Amino acid sequence: AYRCRSAFKLLEIDDKHRILRPGQHVIDCGTAPGAWAQVAVQRVNAAGSDPNAPTGFVLGIDLHHISPLEGAALLPFSDVTDPKTQKKIQEMLPEGKSDVILSDMAPNATGVREIDQLKSIQLCLSLLDLAQQVLEPGGTILCKFWQGRDGSLLQKRLMEHFKEVKLLKPPASRQESAETYYLAKSYKTGSAVQSR
Ligand code: SAM
């Protein structure tokens, strides 16, 4: 059983967009309680359940406690936006590299919509710093954000660093929620970005 219904969101997105494959290294930002990490462990074969497929790696990070999960390395009580955490993430990754960064992070809601949206965009922007350190060229970011005025800034920044950026809108039935995802594929190499 999954630890949270959010598992089905990731399953739905992955079935449609084919992000996770056996053997990949995945960073899951905002892991607790761990449903996305469960899905990632299955899809990249991080627990080695399929002996005929390559074994992947999943690293989960959260501000809060995360219950142990077979097949996943965990970094609880850590802030993904903190450079010290980002360094620790790099150290924990095999060869210091990852193929996919997932983020279902959500800020503590203040109740003021504009502030919450801005904080959610800032969480996503911090993933670009992390990507610069650990993401393989050709890699992928899937990140949740709360749609609002600053969404276009996030899109612009993602487009500078990825060849393909898609906005994944929630199904019509859930449109009242401002929760949306960006899927950014084909991370450009460091040199390609610097030469701009
Ligand atoms: N994907 C999870 C699952 O499927 O079980 C649910 C994630 S929940 C919606 C959002 C999580 O993001 C919270 O557990 C929160 O603690 C975490 N979070 C928010 N800001 C964070 C940050 N700066 N660093 C690490 N985790 C963060």
Let me know: does 79 contact 94? Beta carbons within 8 Å.
no
Handedness of CA 175, 180, 186, 188 (dihedral sign): positive
* Cα of 51 from ligand 1 centre, angstroms: 31
Ligand 1 is surrounded, with C-beta below 6 A, by 3-4, 6-7, 29-36, 61-64, 79-81, 104-107, 123
At residue 64, the pLDDT reads 98
Quote the pLDDT of residue 147. Answer: 83
Q: Are strands 98-103 and 25-29 parallel, antiparallel or unpaired?
A: parallel
Give the model's pLDDT for residue 189.
Answer: 78
**Separation of 107 CA from ligand 1 center, angstroms?**
8
pLDDT per residue of the chain (196 residues) written in tens, 0 to 9? 999 999 999 999 999 999 999 999 999 999 999 999 999 999 999 999 999 999 999 999 999 999 999 999 999 999 999 999 999 999 999 999 999 999 999 999 898 988 999 999 999 999 999 999 999 999 999 999 988 777 789 999 999 999 999 999 866 555 556 679 999 999 997 544 544 3
Residue 168 CB contacts under 8 Å (≥ 6 apart), including other chains: 13, 17, 180, 181, 182, 183
Q: Count the neighbouring beta carbons within 10 Å of the beta carbon of residue 73.
A: 17
Q: Around 17, how many Cα atoms within 13 Å sit in the side-chain half-sphere? A: 20
- Name the DSSP class of 61: E
DSSP 8-state code for residue 94: G
**Which one-letter amino acid corresponds to residue 13?**
I
For residue 97, the one-letter residue type is: K
